[in-house]
Amino acid sequence: MATRPRINQVRLRVYQVLLLALVLGAWHVLTQPGLLPNFYFSADNRAAFFFGEPLKVAGRIVDWFVGGEIYGHLWITLVETALAFAIGSISGLLIGLWLGLSPMASAILDPYIKAANSMPRVVLAPIFAVWFGLGMWSKVALGVTLVFFIVFFNVYQGVREVSPNILANARMLGANRRQLLSAIYLPSAMSWVFASLHNAVGLAFVGAVVGEYLGSARGVGYLILQAETTFDINTVFAGIFVLTAFALLLDGAVGVIERRLMTWQPRAAETERT
């Protein structure tokens, strides 16, 4: 890696900001009514109707946060996401450990797990709406079905790939079955769990928003749905940007926890620079 030239960090940031400005600028110029002669749409305000206007989108986001309208919706969506994430990953971890350690159970359940995983689980949303109503829990249930399999498969894989040497060593050191679970299998599976949590948090969000979108009375997905029915494209974009920002924040939080808990893992950049 030493021969590869290091990119100047400051310059990198400048380029990234420039790229963003370029895209937003193009968006603005192409959609602002009357700014450019029409070359595709027949009327001045058509481009804005279909693609929104960045200034109005920004204004909408500011209104939301200043006026306080967004907080209730955002809170609901985030709570749904957090619950789906927590329930899905903990159950994925536990069942992954169980099936990883008992070959008989995993052999019996194998085809059903494969089927459940390949099923497009978003179609379960209407069923969950019937079971759990249109409140929070139907969205949480949808998120759980998405999160669970990601974490489950990673833990399952992780448990089965525990080094036989480390296992034999722990047994020679006197570990019983329970101690093997807590001292070997669990920590070994954790690195796989964390690899999957980044995906899982995104999917928990997807579950919450899609659930809201399909039928709800609160949440950011509901805001987007409302705006869409009135062809308010600016509000739809505003909702998308708010969701993106919070998805990034959640992912960052997982990253922080990961670095805190996984200090034992070698990092390529860390080992060479002292």
Partner 1 sequence: MATPALALRDITCRFPSPDGQGTYTAVADTTLVIEAGQFVSVVGPTGCGKSTLLNVAAGLLAPSSGTVEVFGEPMVFDGQVNRRAGYMFQSDALMPWRNAIGNVVAGLEFRGVPKREAVEQGQEWLRRVGLAGFGDRYPHHLSGGMRKRLALAQTLILDPDILLMDEPFSALDVQTRQLMENELLALWAADRKTVLFITHDLEEAIALSDRVVALSAGPATRPIGDFAIELDRPRDVAEIRMEPGFLTYHRQIWDVMKEEVLKAYAKQRAA
**Is 169 a residue that touches partner 1 (CB under 8 A)?**
yes
Q: Which residue lies nearer to partner 1 by CB, 8 or 265?
A: 265
Q: Which of 142, 146, 159, 190 binds partner 1 (CB under 8 A)?
A: 190
Which of 81, 68, 95 has its CA nearest to residue 202? 81
Angle at 146 between CA 142 and CA 152, to 5 degrees: 135
Which of 221, 223, 201, 205 has its CA nearest to residue 213? 221
The CB-of-190 to partner 1 minimum distance in angstroms stands at: 8
Round the CA-based radius of gyration of the chain to a whole number and report it. 24
**Is 271 a residue that touches partner 1 (CB under 8 A)?**
yes
| Stretch of 11-19, 97-105, 135-143, 177-185 lying at the interface with partner 1 (CB under 8 A) | 177-185
Distance CA 21, CA 27 (A): 10
**Is 183 a residue that touches partner 1 (CB under 8 A)?**
yes
Q: Which residue lies nearer to partner 1 by CB, 117 or 169?
A: 169
The CB-of-163 to partner 1 minimum distance in angstroms stands at: 8
**Is 179 a residue that touches partner 1 (CB under 8 A)?**
yes
Distance CA 62, CA 21 (A): 19
**Is 163 a residue that touches partner 1 (CB under 8 A)?**
yes
**Is 175 a residue that touches partner 1 (CB under 8 A)?**
yes
The CB-of-54 to partner 1 minimum distance in angstroms stands at: 47
Q: Which residue lies nearer to partner 1 by CB, 117 or 179?
A: 179
**Is 209 a residue that touches partner 1 (CB under 8 A)?**
no
CA of 269: how far to CAs of 7, 255, 265, 266, in Å?
15, 16, 12, 9
**Is 176 a residue that touches partner 1 (CB under 8 A)?**
yes
CA of 76: how far to CAs of 89, 216, 239, in Å?
20, 11, 14
**Is 184 a residue that touches partner 1 (CB under 8 A)?**
yes
**Is 166 a residue that touches partner 1 (CB under 8 A)?**
yes
How many residues sit close enough to partner 1 to count as binding (CB under 8 A)? 24
Q: Which residue lies nearer to partner 1 by CB, 184 or 214?
A: 184
Interacting residues with partner 1 (CB under 8 A): 163, 165-166, 168-176, 179, 183-184, 187-188, 190-191, 263-266, 271
